[in-house]
Amino acid sequence: MALSTSSVITLKINGEKYTLPVDHRTTLLDALRERLDLTGTKKGCDQGQCGACTVLLDGRRTVACLQLAVAAEGREITTVEGVADGEQLHPVQQAFLDLDGYQCGYCTPGQICSAIGVIQEHAAGWPSAVTDDIRPEAGPPPLTADEIRERMSGNLCRCGAYVSIVEAVARAAEAGTDTSTAAAARISPEAAAEEAVA
Amino acid sequence: MREFGYQRASDVAGAVALLGADPDTRFLGGGTNLVDLMKTGVERPARLIDIRELPLDEIESTPEGGLRIGATVTNGDLAAHPEVRRRYPALAQAVLAGASGQLRNMATVGGNLLQRTRCGYFTDVTKPCNKRVPGSGCPAVEGEHHNSAILGASGHCVAVHPSDMAVALIAFDAVVSYETADGPGELPLREFYLPVADTPHRETALPPGALITGVTLPPTPTATHSRYRKVRERASYAFAIGSVAAALDVRDGVVRDVRLALGAVASRPWRAVAAERVLTGAPADAETYAAAAEAELAAALPLPHNGYKVTLIRNLVVAVLTELAEEAAR
Amino acid sequence: MTTVTTAHKNAVGTAHTRVEGRDKVTGAARYAGEVPFADLAHGWLVLSTVARGRIREIDTAPVLGLPGVLAVLDHRNAPRVETDYAGLMGSKPDPTCAVFQHDRVPHLGWPVALVVAETSEQAREAAEALVVHYEQEPHDVDFTGEHPDAYALDGHMPAVAEKGDLDAELAASAVVLDAEYTTPEEHHNPMEPHAATARWEDGRLEVVDSNQGATWVVGELASLFSLDPASVRVRSEHVGGGFGSKGVRAHQVAAVMAATVLQRPVRVVLTRRQMFSLAGYRSPTVQRVRLGADAEGRLRALEHRSVSLTSTVHEFVEPSAGVARVMYDADAHHTANRVVRLDVPTPTWMRAPGEAPGSFALEAALDELAEKCGIDPIELRLRNEPDKGPVSGLPFAGRDLPACFREGARRFGWADRDPRPGLRRDGRWLLGTGTAAASFHAGAMPSTATVTAHPDGTFTVRIAAADIGTGARTALTLIAADALRVPPERVRVRIGDSDFGPAMIAGGSMGTRSWAWAVTAAADELRDRLALGTGVPAEGITVRSDTTAAIGALAPAERHSFGAQFAEVAVDVTTGEVRVRRMLGIFAAGRIVNPLTARGQFEGGMVWGISMALHEEAIRDRATGGHVGADLAGYHVATHADVPDIEADWIEDADPRDPVGIKGIGEIGIVGAAAAIANAVWHATGVRHRSLPIRPDRVILAGGPSA
């Protein structure tokens, strides 16, 4: 029996449910941009090589271009359109705006979603490739400029706004320290528990 | 990209049964490699079986004191796990050195082992490639090969395996578990990848229809003192041009135990057996480390434009072992 | 009511966040491929897989039977276009954009067909399934400096400029340097891929596009399709980067053809991989520099010869030897730009065309000469400051390079530098510092603008400018506000629409200078009219400006911005890794309109310098004639981890004789940046790297003081 090559799916995006038929080939990125008119998520390479399409999937940053829409059914999707609290910009958005953490703006939604993920991952105690001592006993590394740079390296900015982006992420991370613990527990209960006993 | 059917599996047996013996069906994990290859036309499956919801996303201690890592554990969770960082730090470092935070949150352990080479001829369907189209030729041998293999390659294929994670896993004697319609099986990672020979399109020893269910790391006390170093052409978010995973146990100035593996030098993660033989029981000094590296690299057959890798790997081996020994002495 | 306030604080010169900033951080800003159209069809280009030959057959029928496929356009059925005209840039169009007109294939990646389908997934699959048969011919893609067919070619400057007896001056020089430098093929890779949607609406052709100049593209499309320019409209509100690549390209023309044939809106977006053969690129260069100096380092002879490549269908020259015509004088001064035609796509302007690769060679050569002379590299440059244009003889309209070096040296800590190479270590890293000079032409092109006063005291500026990330929209808001003497909040600036009238493109660092001129002229006149106090009617009062005459009346002069670049690098010669640890650029670049966005422009250019010095290189496969690794994993641009703290700042650079005082800052940041890094790598290791990028394999093979 030939399997169907399309399905009717329901996607949960920014707290809303969208039901739509999709060709199985449709990526989450194309579903957002071409089917749901959520064009904030950008297509820079369509191959997982630039980070412009970064969204949060079940709270974690991922690239939407390599995520099939049909496989995203049942998961919580957050795009750049959904990170602000109504008219109140997310601290990361505000910092990008205030510190000019962009130029052409095309990589910006991806940088912002990625930065939100970075701040949560860091708060959960995740190490990075530039963390000197990754043993859990060493505790979480301070979120230095070098740590931010490494963690944000999956987001290319061809305009070269990196200096301002790193400043913006650092400012937002400082501003969000109070709220990040809960977010950390959400993405990594195990690491959070580890922190609690450490 | 051709049209395809999609099914979601909820248990391992069901996933294996859904796959059956269909050569046009692929398991879909994180999709970071498969979906990309489908876009470039390298892979054209007629059906995908989504295995991301299988109950294979746990990391557990084994009774022997090792770790068992489920096949659908993401790279992000693997590198963040306290027991991985404590007992096999080089594994966590290797995973963190790969791809980007976003991709690590999607990519799974099983998929990482099965990822295909990033050789520019393989990923471009308009060019010949023996790995993609057996018998079509290997243009890299005469063409662009500055990041091609120096060990274990053949005139049929000089592509390198892109995984960082697998380099650390092979250093720590990981064993791959799988499930088939005929029941479960196991393969040591050292036997998992096939030699290139004249069949570069045959990459692993997994039986047809097998689903990787997990990877087991045996207890390896030496691994608590381990490190992964990767060299690439940009500071982050790039594939390796050479890498080393090493664990070292030095007592009274003598190497008691060592694990050494190399990345981006061969079609598979390369366990440096010859080097380990030289090191074990020898004085822990730069001379030994260099001799060990040279013993491993004696078999190297560089092409005109990748000979630098021989120097790079020798230097990396010496540097990483020296750092590990110095740290232990502190 | 009063529309002119008298108590006004200048907006220009103080930091302002971008007027469209909120839209950009919330995802509300719509780029070309994101504007919704009812009944939209999707086109996908099919590119040739051979580098030279002719199309023998295209098997269209099976593809037309695939689900959703609406049409296949190729050279047999596509609308004809006209290419015998001179466009805004003064030359005939690159035939690459005149798609589907004949069966010849002049390079790999040449557009041979467009498949149009209901969805992008269907279009992609059908395009991949389309079988094209070729008669293949032998190709030549082998670029060398010694190619026998290389010839001198004028671009935006004469190919050859010569004065004095080169051999005699070299022979009489106390110190002579003769070195060859190479730079690779480099690609713009703006983050937003080229995208265009075309439709016919009430007899007018409308194209929503991502480009650097609506005027430019509308003119080209009108000429190509033999349409009255007034019947074509091009809109381009937000543009995700351009860097020279976003002019008229195959995708817009293909979209217009398909929209014409199907009579419905058609969108064509280039894939990242297609951009490598269709979006233009910077030619590789081979450059030979010969310098002769007296014992005090004063230049007697300067020769800079550059070879670049172009396609067999269109001439384009990367004028790398031009930079010496501005920077340094010598009794014998010979510069020449030559090209060789190969079976490759046509290169194009890319951020600082000529200056970027040219300054790498020349400023690295100056550093080598300084070493040979035993003179500090900054001092050597100061001793060779010309008092007039070395080739033109014209006066400089401001040239404060010495002040840039003095300020830069002070802030960078240059005075403490030990000039000897290979001495400093930090663990496994060898450390070194380097410097280089920078310059870029400050030109202006005629533009028109309108400014409208509304009864509520607000103003609307309309100009066919493009904000490709430069902050032009915000800069023009500040400029208009100051000219109107109102707060910027009362000024709306609308850009990116060809209906606003002709204007300069965002290119050549001329955009903001040219547009500001037109906006100021209109605003000044409007303010005069409002001063009459007759009141503003409901429809407003609109004034239109045209700067053609004013620009023509500008006295001839050497107008350039200048800068001093500094870099510190760390090099591990055992692994070949090079890291830039810090950079400083001090610029004399005219009036700085918005310090917040200007800093980003300079820094962005310097990031391009890092990327050019260490990473960027497109590799062409001799056998197939195409690229290997034509994507962002194979073609590395600098990412976050490659970019350290960069500091960019500027000195006062006012020219009271200039009516606008703005010089344009989009390009100067990259000029000299790669040379400063390469010079620092020498200072760290004692090894000169004369070929970019300074890749790990090259560093390993070259070794260092301890290797």
CATH code, domain with A172 = 1.10.150.120
Note the pLDDT of residue A197.
Answer: 38
- Choice among C303, C558, C647, C667 that is catalytic: C667
**CATH number of the domain within which A36 lies:** 3.10.20.30
**pLDDT at residue A175, as a whole number:** 87
pLDDT score of A2: 72
In this complex, is the C-beta atom of B20 within 8 Å of any C-beta atom belonging to chain A?
Answer: no
Whether ipTM exceeds 0.90: yes
User: Is residue C338 included in any domain, yes or no?
Assistant: no
Q: How many domains does chain C have?
A: 3
pLDDT of residue A188: 45
State how many domains chain A has. 2
- Is the pLDDT at C706 greater than 90? The verdict is no
Q: End of a domain among C507, C534, C552? A: C552
**Residue numbers in B near C128 (CB within 8 A):** 1, 41
CB proximity A136 to B under 8 Å: yes
Q: Do residues A101 and A73 both lie within one domain?
A: no
Of A46, A145, A148, the CB nearest to C272: A46
DSSP per-residue codes, C216-246 = HHHHHHHHHTT--GGGEEEE-SB----TT--
C534, C552, C570 — which closes off a domain? C552
Residue C422 domain-assigned (yes or no): yes
What is the pTM for the complete model shown? 0.97
pLDDT at position B287 is 98
Say yes or no: A20 and A54 in one domain. yes
- Tens of pLDDT, residue by residue over B97-109, are 999 999 999 999 9
Of A47, A105, A156, the CB nearest to C469: A105
Interface test mutation site (partner C, options A97, A150, A158, A164, max chain C beta carbons within 10 A): A158
Residue at a domain's end among C278, C310, C334: C278
CA-wise closest residue to B28 among C127, A78, C120, A27: A27
* Residue range of the domain that includes A155: 91-197
Tokens of B13: 């047996």
pLDDT at A185: 44
How distant, in Å, are the alpha carbons of B9, B113, B115 from that of B29? Answer: 11, 12, 11
Distance from the B38 Cα atom to the nearest Cα atom in chain C, whole angstroms: 11
**pLDDT per position as a tens digit, C323-357:** 999 999 999 999 999 999 999 999 999 999 999 99
Q: Could you tell me if residue C620 is inside a domain?
A: yes
Q: Does A161 touch chain C (CB under 8 A)?
A: yes
Please tell me whether residues A96 and A77 are part of one structural domain. no
The answer to whether position C152 is within a domain reads no
And the tokens for C165?
């007896």
* C640 assigned to some structural domain: yes
Q: Are residues A95 and A77 in the same domain?
A: no
Q: Which residue has the higher pLDDT, B203 or A177?
A: B203
pLDDT digits (tens, 9 = 90+) for A130-183: 999 999 999 989 999 999 999 999 999 999 999 999 999 999 999 876 444 444
Nearest-CA distance C129 → chain A (Å): 16
> At C656, is the pLDDT very low, low, confident or very high (cuts 50, 70, 90)?
confident
pLDDT at residue B166, as a whole number = 98
pLDDT of residue A180: 46
**In the structure, what pLDDT confidence band is assigned to residue C705 with cuts at 50, 70 and 90?**
confident
- CA gap C687, C371 in Å, rounded: 12
Instruction: Assess if residue C26 is contained within a domain.
Output: yes
Residues C539 and C481 in one domain: yes
> Could you tell me if C291 and C166 are in contact, meaning their C-beta atoms sit under 8 angstroms apart?
no
- Which residues partner with B157 through β-bridges? B154
User: What φ, ψ does residue C454 adopt, rounded to 5°?
Assistant: -105, 155
Domain edge (last residue) among A61, A82, A103: A82
Q: Residue A178: its pLDDT value, please?
A: 46
Please list every residue in chain C whose beta carbon sits closer than 8 Å to the beta carbon of residue B311: 700-701
Same domain, A103 and A60: no
Q: Is residue A47 part of a domain?
A: yes
The whole-angstrom distance between residue B220's C-alpha and the CA centroid of its chain comes to 19
Q: Is C539 a catalytic residue?
A: no
**Percentage of chain A with pLDDT > 70?**
88
Are residues A48 and A114 both part of a single domain? no
Q: Is residue A95 part of a domain?
A: yes
The distance of C454 to chain A (nearest Cα, Å) reads 29
Chain C: partners with 3+ C-beta pairs within 8 Å? A, B
A33 and A60 both lie in a single domain: yes
pLDDT digits (tens, 9 = 90+) for A38-74: 999 999 999 999 999 999 999 999 999 999 999 999 9
> What was the pLDDT predicted at C7?
57
The answer to whether residues A170 and A101 belong to one domain is yes
Per domain, the residue ranges of chain B are 5-50, 227-329
Say whether both A51 and A20 belong to one domain.
yes
Q: Does A122 touch chain B (CB under 8 A)?
A: no
Q: Compute the mean pLDDT over every residue in chain C, rounded to the nearest whole number.
A: 96
Q: C564 pLDDT exceeds 90?
A: yes
Closest CA to B42 of B127, B132, B159, B114: B132
**Does residue A36 sit within a domain?**
yes
How would residue C1 be classed by pLDDT, with cut points 50, 70 and 90?
A: very low
Which CATH class, in words, describes the domain spanning B5-50?
alpha beta
- Tell whether C245 and C106 lie within a shared domain: yes
Same domain, A61 and A155: no
End-of-domain residue from the set A82, A109, A142:
A82
For residue C470, what pLDDT is reported? 98
In percent, the amount of chain A with pLDDT more than 90 equals 85
Decide if A1 is inside a domain: no
Query: Is the separation of the CB atoms in C570 and C631 below 8 Å?
Result: no
- Among candidates B127, B237, B308 on the partner chain, residue whose Cβ is nearest the Cβ of C639: B237
Range list of β-strands (E), A84-168? none
Do both A39 and A134 map to the same domain?
Answer: no
pLDDT of C127 higher than 60: yes
Contact between C24 and A91 under an 8 Å Cβ cutoff? The reply is no
Please give the sequence-ordered ranges of beta strands (E in DSSP) within chain B, or none if there are none.
5-8, 25-28, 47-50, 59-61, 67-70, 175-180, 183-188, 211-217, 226-232, 240-251, 254-263, 270-271
Does residue C67 sit within a domain? yes
Average pLDDT over residues C179-200: 98
Q: What confidence tens digit (pLDDT) does each residue in C575-610 have? A: 999 999 999 999 999 999 999 999 999 999 999 999
Handedness of CA A49, A52, A56, A60 (dihedral sign): positive
Residues A112, A28, single domain; the answer is no
Query: Within an 8 Å CB–CB cutoff, is residue A167 touching chain B?
Result: no
Q: What is the pLDDT of residues B244-275, one digit of tens each?
A: 999 999 999 999 999 999 999 999 999 999 99
- Note the pLDDT tens digit of each residue in C640-649: 999 999 999 9
CA angle C154, C157, C159 (to 5 degrees): 40
Is the pLDDT at A195 greater than 50, yes or no?
A: no
Query: Could you tell me which CATH class the domain B227-329 is placed in?
Result: alpha beta
CATH code of C464's domain? 3.30.365.10
> Inter-chain contact C26–A40, Cβ cutoff 8 Å?
yes
C60 lies in which domain range?
A: 38-135+189-278
- Establish if C242 belongs to a structural domain: yes
- Residue A193 has what pLDDT? 40
C601 and C540 assigned to the same domain: no
Residues C455 and C563 in one domain: no
Give the confidence band of C9 by pLDDT, cuts at 50, 70, 90: confident
